[in-house]
A and B are shown apart, each in its own frame.
Chain A
């Protein structure tokens, strides 16, 4: 069975500081990995995803994530936080099995950006 853990339900950073949101997964087969962002009162939007190939993935709004198989991690980073980055971030795992696609979401990390 797959599972996703996100260390820290709430992370606060100062504007301009590095953003680091942690995601670890467990999966019996190589997974596909996603980061979604949810702004207040909105649905989830795809930030970036890893499927195959290069392990450093760049997404929208200056975010990137690196797939580290040895650490079963897919941490999300951004060099310089902006006030507009304040949102909830969800890491997700999916894989294709005999019955189709199975998504599992982490519990989410709320990012606050302080002026």
Chain B
């Protein structure tokens, strides 16, 4: 029962480096999300996707890119890492069925430090 799996769990990047956070879900959810969590700020939506081939910006998209080539995978790309991107990143998914109050399921998080 894997749910939402994201890798790596921990990573240290140098300023200007690039990396991709991987996310995959095995629940056949059409909606997927990337959030960042900073102390006292809650969760901020970076990007989301409503299905394969469709992505859209969230509240804080600058410095990130995403793609959704399959239903299962939703990688998050950091092109030129900056210290402001030091954060904990969560991938999540949900099933959009028009039923009331669909639950969003989270991965275990990726701790990223940019130095």
**Binding partners A and B:** yes
* Interface residues in chain A, defined as those with a beta carbon under 8 Å from any beta carbon in chain B: 4, 9, 32-34, 36, 41-46, 49-52, 90, 92, 94, 96, 99-101, 103, 105-108
Contact status A101-B100, CB under 8 Å: no
Pick the most buried of B43, B50, B98, B105: most chain A CB atoms within 10 A of its CB: B43
Complex interface: chain B residues within 8 A of A99 (CB): 50
**Contact flag A50-B42 (CB < 8 Å), given A42-B109, A101-B96:** no
Q: List chain B residues, Cβ under 8 A from A36.
A: 106
* Contact yes or no, B50 A107, CB < 8 A: no
Q: How many A-B residue pairs have CB under 8 A?
A: 63
Task: Please determine whether A107 and B31 come into contact, CB atoms closer than 8 angstroms.
Answer: no
CA–CA, A94 to B43, complex, Å?
14
Chain B residues within CB distance 8 Å of chain A: 4, 31, 33, 35, 40-43, 45, 50, 90, 92, 94, 96, 98, 100-109
What secondary structure prevails in chain B residues at the interface with A? Answer: strand
Out of B90, B100, B107, name the residue touching A96 (CB < 8 Å). B100
Instruction: Check A50 against B101 for contact (C-beta < 8 Å).
Output: yes
Q: How far is the CA of A96 from the CA of B95 in the complex (A)?
A: 12
A32-B40 contact given A43-B106, A44-B106, CB 8 Å threshold: no
By beta carbon, the residue of chain A nearest B4 is: A43
Q: B65 → chain A, closest Cβ, in Å?
A: 21
CB distance from B58 to the nearest CB of A (A): 10
Contact of B101 among A9, A32, A41 (CB under 8 A): A32
Cα A103 to Cα B4 with chains together (Å): 17
CB neighbours (8 Å) of B108 from chain A are: 41-43
Q: Is the CB of B43 within 8 A of A105?
A: yes
- Give, as a whole number of angstroms, the nearest-CB distance from B43 to chain A: 4
Contact B104 A103 (CB under 8 A): yes
- Interface pair A96/B43, CB less than 8 Å apart: no
